Amino acid sequence: MIKFKDLRNSDLIPGEIYEAGHTGGFFAGEVISNIFKFDNLRGIGNQGGIRRSMIENNPSLSNEEAFVILLDTKGDPDWPNKYNNSTKILKYYGDNKDPKKQYLDTKQRGNEAFEKYYRRAYSKTNENIAPFFYFERINGKDVRFIGIAVPFVEGTTIGEALNLDKFTKKGEGDYENYVARFTILETPVPRQWLYDLKIAQNKSEYFPTVWYNFLQSRELPSKNKNYVLIPDTTNHPENTGYRMTAYRKTQSKFRSRLLDRESGCQLCNLSIPSLLVASHIVPWAIADESQKVNLNNGLLLCISHDALFDKCFISFNEDGQILISDELPSSEFERLHINEQMIIDLLPEQEQFMRIHRAAIRT
């Protein structure tokens, strides 16, 4: 769980719970408004299921959303939002239920944002598409981050993904409201990207890869759990020779430092140096320059356990306890030299990297 005191410095990690404040009243301790506070920028509202955050410091884009928050409060039977974890499709209701108003005439202008971004996503233009971030409320106050909600469902028309439906409010009459279907990308979201979105930094080096790919191609991956953060590489030569030379130099020093720190495989204690691998928690290929050389982004593992970790078949919780993918049958555990009681010594400084790796474990 991310503690309330840490909300303003935290990344968004799929499945992670973000704690509400326990003093100062509901609004002071409200989770969403505290997660999305940035120095010298306006905050986001502390009420409602749909909350828009506008681009700042760029007059030409002042009417554009930086991002939109979707929160399932679990408290309104008129809006029975539902996320299907198997299909990665979120069914989310718009923000009108007033028979006296037109469906776009809402205080938070949520339906207006739906209409704008579904139209842009399906038209494949170069217009800005703001990401939607989906949270679910738990225990009445805390929230769990689920992922980026993409206003697009592959293989459907815009009318199927965003349907204007008619409802009846007992004793008051009929009203229209949107029923939207989003595709959820369960990918970590770096806090720096949130800030860059607010100031319209479109070339942010913190862009999640899957969101960037969607903007470029309007295609979504069939399985979208195995994502990690990718930095910008546009300032580096895109040739294999350059990348391999940089990899060998960096990896050699990184491995030597890990061998100095650890006596053997951190999971099984195998101590034959030639069979040990310096494994990056956030992989070298997508790590930024500081992560590539940060020893806290590394584990020393034997060849077998490195392969399992690298392919996200195993990971570790914040206490170092092994997490094993559902894709590995228990009948194979003995052959793979793993069991559910295994544990490693995980430094507190390694948790920021391991949290990202946990989000990518195969399920």
User: What are the pLDDT digits (tens) for 125-140?
Assistant: 888 999 999 999 998 8
**228 — pLDDT class (breaks 50, 70, 90):** very low
Query: Measured between alpha carbons, how far is residue 229 from residues 3, 50, 197, 247, 285 in Å?
Result: 22, 26, 16, 18, 10
Region label for 38, one of left (φ > 0), alpha (ψ between -120 and 50) or beta (otherwise): beta
**235 — pLDDT class (breaks 50, 70, 90):** very low
pLDDT tens, residue by residue, 27-50: 788 999 999 999 889 988 878 899
Q: Which residue in 286, 277, 267 sits closest to 337, CA to CA?
A: 267
pLDDT surpassing 50 at residue 117:
yes
Q: Report domain extents, the chain.
A: 4-217, 240-358
Contact 229, 359 (CB under 8 A): no
Q: What CATH number labels 4-217?
A: 2.30.280.20
Which pLDDT score, from 0 to 100, does residue 274 have?
A: 87
Q: Three-state SS string across 89-125, please?
A: EEEEECCCCCCCCCCCCCCCCHHHHHHHHHHHHHHCC
pLDDT tens, residue by residue, 164-214: 999 999 899 999 999 999 999 988 888 889 999 999 987 787 788 788 888
Cα angle 90, 56, 137; round to 5 = 30
Which pLDDT score, from 0 to 100, does residue 43 have?
A: 87
